[in-house]
A and B are shown apart, each in its own frame.
Chain A
């Protein structure tokens, strides 16, 4: 394998090449598409609330007030961004290798199990070391959980979706068992199905008085940068994307599709595990049977809305953070179920899946406009 053979393939991978101007155009095109999708989803949300007899303006303004109108709200919004960014990155990373990791919710669960066990059972460590051990443990647990589907896919061509669905449910049941009565991690002094609290040395420092806000968001932002560098600036990341866009061609130039399929799944799941670990160390401080409100599934919408770009994932996580934290106040003040977020998520995913045929149709319509910046490189992946 020579460098040249790789370079030759480059144009097929990065469609928005050819200078800063077209790249800017592609970014603007992607942003416009995602904005349209979000607006359409909200319009449908308005419509659903309207016909069911709620006041949509009241409901959504309560949502935004809840998410951004108070110190506590802003803190909670930023807090829920952390697992969303991490699992969104996980989903995007796997998707760049054409793998559909809907197993992030299960990987969050195993990451949380590992982090909380390490968090309460190791004593006498300095804070930095203890937190690092817990988070590395969470990553490893997630990675192991992702290795199986990656291996089964690479070695036996078993669809990863099937195996991660099975592993998801196994993870949920194992987590429930851990903290059930008589379970190995159950705190015997507590009636709640929960593990003992983690030690102070394992807790992520809270840095905003009066809120639960902690340093977790900085870890997530750093990971977004790391994943971006990995995908777009590193050799293995490039090879991984090559496997994703054309496994046969990649194999021909000497890239092992098997190894990169496993690698993509392992890295993606490690991010899920990290998200679970951070939730425990930063917010809950103990393992609870079901603590995630579905971040692993939100991750799909977050990543698709972010057009699978790590930096854009941060932006779409912000939107989702607002939805997740604001929905609580919306439910309390207007009676609209906080599951409105699920309906918006589903709508966003539906619209994202329709964007390619829609874009084709638009392109047809505006074919006269020269160099119209359509959705960018990701559309061939999403379809």
Chain B
């Protein structure tokens, strides 16, 4: 029975499941490292997914990709406007975005596709390149998926940006001590805008992946808490890209294992198994408590220039 569960397929499906979570998680890292909490990732993802389907139905999957990224970017900027310019509570702003993202698509679906409720018609997916002729990789991954590949590459890229570039150093300084950063001449608010916009764009890409790559349509609440799991992975991975990567692989493996076990006939209650990432994150929070968790010191606090 075990060979039915632990076969080569589980590697590929782990990566497929981990991709949207990882993108959200990286989005979370970028925002929080700059000192802005982003619990609106789930909503940004959902709006990205919805916009991608609109784009794909209008002008094909590449336009869908563009729409998805733009939707994420705009929601990110909205979050930035409220939390950076208005200096309102960032948690409140994020919550409002999550609530908005649940409602808005449901109003628009019957407007754009008359007669459809809660679920859109099937649209064109982003193309994949067949890899089955390539040795080794071909047996692992039947197809080359651009978003998955991009996501995997983003991890070392963002790590390098955060830790080995001027931009990254400045960004991290905003999350730790914005006053000091301001004193040495870093434009705090502008940098934070860039970070939040990037965060939203990554969440939008996560949504795009879900709706026009993983699936081929939008359905209500299709993100199913993935934005929040991404947030969990960010914490679990201590606000580091590689940490988040391993957390997402772990969470993704848990879900892939559950699905594989289910189809192999092992009776595991799926609902309880889906709670696994959340339980694990709580345990991780408690176990690293007291020590330095790696959370940016100034995250969540609006910066008021003197």
Contacts and interface: CB of A to CB of B under 8 A. Distances in A.
Interface in B90-131: 91-93, 95-97, 99-100, 102-104, 106-111, 117
A69 B267 CA distance: 50
Contacts of A48: 107
B289 interface: yes
B104 to A, nearest CB: 6
Instruction: Name which of A161, A180, A346, A357 has the most chain B CB atoms within 10 A of its CB.
Output: A346
A353 B92 contact: yes
B271 interface: yes
A159 B88 CA distance: 18
Interface string B242-285: 00000000000000000000000001011110110011011001
A173 interface: yes
Nearest to B105: A339
Contacts of B231: 162, 165
Contact of A349 (B39, B95, B106, B270): B95
Contact of B271 (A100, A161, A173, A340): A173
Interface of B: 37, 39, 82, 86-89, 91-93, 95-97, 99-100, 102-104, 106-111, 117, 225, 228, 231-232, 235, 267, 269-272, 274-275, 278-279, 281-282, 285-286, 289-290, 293, 300
Contacts of B290: 156
B107 A100 contact: no
Contact of B93 (A177, A350, A357): A350
A341 B100 CA distance: 9
A319 to B, nearest CB: 16
26 contacts: A52-B107, A102-B95, A152-B286, A158-B289, A162-B231, A166-B281, A166-B285, A167-B282, A169-B225, A170-B275, A173-B272, A173-B274, A174-B271, A174-B275, A177-B271, A182-B267, A183-B271, A335-B110, A337-B107, A337-B110, A342-B99, A342-B100, A346-B103, A353-B82, A353-B86, A354-B82
A349 B281 CA distance: 28
Contacts of A182: 267, 269
A339 B96 contact: no
A187 B293 CA distance: 44
B275 to A, nearest CB: 4
A339 B93 contact: no
Contact of B97 (A155, A304, A335, A346): A346
**Chain A, interface SS category:** helix
Instruction: Name which of B269, B271, B289 has the most chain A CB atoms within 10 A of its CB.
Output: B271
A162 to B, nearest CB: 6
A383 B272 contact: no
A345 interface: yes
A297 interface: yes
B269 A162 contact: no
B104 A343 contact: yes
B22 to A, nearest CB: 18
Contacts of A158: 285-286, 289, 293
Nearest to A184: B269
Contacts of A341: 103
A114 B282 CA distance: 22
Interface residues of A, number: 52
B269 A383 contact: no
Nearest to B78: A350
Contacts of A356: 88
A148 B282 CA distance: 10
A186 to B, nearest CB: 11
Given A165-B228, A354-B88, A152 B269 contact: no
B110 to A, nearest CB: 6
Interface in A314-363: 335-337, 339-343, 345-347, 349-350, 352-354, 356-357
Given A163-B285, A170-B278, A173-B271, A52 B108 contact: yes
A176 interface: yes
A294 B225 CA distance: 14
A382 interface: yes
Nearest to A49: B107
Contacts of B279: 166, 170
B1 to A, nearest CB: 19
Contacts of A346: 96-97, 99-100, 103
A169 B279 CA distance: 9
A183 B269 contact: yes
Closest 6 CB pairs of A and B: A342-B103, A156-B289, A346-B100, A353-B88, A173-B275, A177-B271
A148 to B, nearest CB: 8
Contacts of A343: 100, 103-104, 107
B113 to A, nearest CB: 13
A300 interface: yes
Contacts of B104: 339, 342-343
A53 interface: yes
B87 A357 contact: yes
Contacts of B93: 350, 353
B289 A152 contact: yes
A258 B82 CA distance: 31
Contact of A339 (B91, B103, B111, B281): B103
A304 B87 CA distance: 17
Contacts of B37: 161
Nearest to A53: B111
Contacts of A342: 99-100, 102-104, 106
A381 to B, nearest CB: 9
A343 B279 CA distance: 31
Contacts of A183: 269, 271
B228 to A, nearest CB: 5
A191 B93 CA distance: 41
